[in-house]
Chains A and B, each alone.
Chain A
Amino acid sequence: MNTPFNFHLTKFSNEAEILRSEVREFLSDALKDIPKETRAETWYGADEDFSKKVGQMGWIGLNWPKEFGGAGRSAMERYVILEEMLTAGAPVGAHWISDRQSGPLIIRYGTEKHQKELLPGILKGESYFCIGMSEPDSGSDLAALRTKAEKKDNIYVVNGTKLWTSGAHRCQYMIACFRTSQEEDRHGGLSQFIVDLSLPGVTIRPIIDLAGRHHFNEVIFEDCEVPADMLIGEEGNGWNQVTAELALERSGPERYLSSYILLQELVNEFSSRNDDEGVTEIGRQMAHLTTLRQMSVSVAGMLDQGANPALEASVVKDLGAVFEQELPNIAHRLMGLEPDANGSDFQRYLAILTQISPSFSLRGGTREILRGIIARGLGLR
């Protein structure tokens, strides 16, 4: 046996490197007034003005085909924008999901009407999407979802609850997976819809996380009438569509850069100390970062070639979450400072990241689910 993984090194083109300097220049100006806490939140941080500026630069939908209003550039070039924004702590949260997966889904499965009506707003950084997958009794076991969409003439009547919906309160749309029929195969009978969240029968309730932030929501559908033409893709093909979406959701640099700012701040702190232990630990984390980046970039390269790197994406996401969860602990060990929301910059970063780090191995597929996927790839199940 050889390993089932296909990681091949992929290099950035000169064009991508030119784009990198443009992004750095843009960010040095655009981030001037962004508070430190927001920077530590990276893609949990949302700022609509910032998203609009990114849209004006033409950096949303960068790798979408030109016929859909994208720039027709490569996934590798898009990767440059993402990693530069994340390491600079840009508040990309508002447009992040639409750019990463809702837009690509609409391009792949949407009707011409969906594309004409919805893509321009995404590209401008004005129209935001959330993902409606999890439910109260359907977390890792996605196929257990129960929210029903029953067809009546030219509408679907939706009843049920979506849970842990990130950013629903600031999004206009949800791409939701509902049950349209009961099938013997539990993966059957699922369908995806584009739901306008301003429709009657939609209630969005905040769920406050352990850090006191409003990020998650509970979205309740009560006899909500979704026009039948807002079904996206094929009725009953939801499972396959969602699975394809997950490869996009799991492969990006946001899966290992969430705590990056702490490593950069440690470099800063240890510049003025003579501390071999700290310096060695910093170097060790650099080695992890360098390697994860090469792995993640390799996945972007595979996307450019039209491959489906779902297995490799799971490997990167699992290792990435371990790395980004470990950094707050390392920062604690090396600095011995109390995480304090009102303390020094370092203490404030530490306060945020220590608290939000448990989510890194939950969101977008739990550690156990990812390892199950890897085990299947190894031929163990």
Chain B
Amino acid sequence: MNESPELKKMREGYGSALIDLAKNDEKIVYVVADSGGHERKWFFDNAKERLIETGIAEANSAVIAAALASEGFKPFVLNFAYLHARMYNQISQSIAEDNYPVRMAGYYAGVWGFGGRSHNCINDLAFMRALPNFNIFSAADYWETKTLVKKTAALDAPSYIRLSGVPTPTIYDSEPEFTSFRKHKDGEDCTIFCHGTMLHETLQACLEEKMNVSVVNIPQIKPLPKEEIINEVKRTGRAVVVEEHSYIGGLAESISSLLSENYPIPIKKVCLNDIFPVSIRMEEKNVYEKFGISRHEIIKTVKSIINQE
């Protein structure tokens, strides 16, 4: 882990990984709806026919991507996370039903962004998880984004990667190897499961407060690494799930459901409330504090679960 983390946009990682892949694989096509960053320019300059622009018509773009996948191409589709709700019926019928390997990614997931209630999407995991055949991922930083883009490129099934919209602290210093379950810290009293931006916040909590806890990053939300999660809590006997997502339908609910059926233990959540998040400036301080998912909330919750008998 980096000592003094650099802030980098996950979207930049997405773009550079996609360019790396597209240079060596002519089957990769990029379907955009007036979306994309430097990778869009790369396609425009180097592989114009493989850049398929639909204009601001996301529903159309999702189905066009499905058709390209049905013809053996490897479509990547990048858009705001919230727009996956707009495309939902198209994703469900045209992509998921017939299991076409369309690689989707949604940025601006979470509370941090100036877009406000319409744009800051905190329920994307809830609605994307409900789609049969979909593989769902969440990136913890720039580097893990690259890993996940490459992972989804190799999958022969539809996928969604959740990305933050703002520059976030880098945790890794190069592309980590893909795993659905990555332990960052070992401890005995409790396991903290997290994903995305909350991995950094959780690790910071552990630096600020001496806690005998495990910290596990779950970059693969669906299918969940069930056995690894169960085996982990068999050792610690308690779990806290931390995510920059609504408490409805995200990792917290998913792990709660898994453990209540297979290995019931005390579980607590540090998640967002059932809200539409307001606009936030990039310079705003203590954003996670304001939304109740800060490192201090994590420390408080861990203490309370350890002390509760």
A joins B in a complex: no
Which chain B residues have a beta carbon within 8 Å of chain A's beta carbons?
none
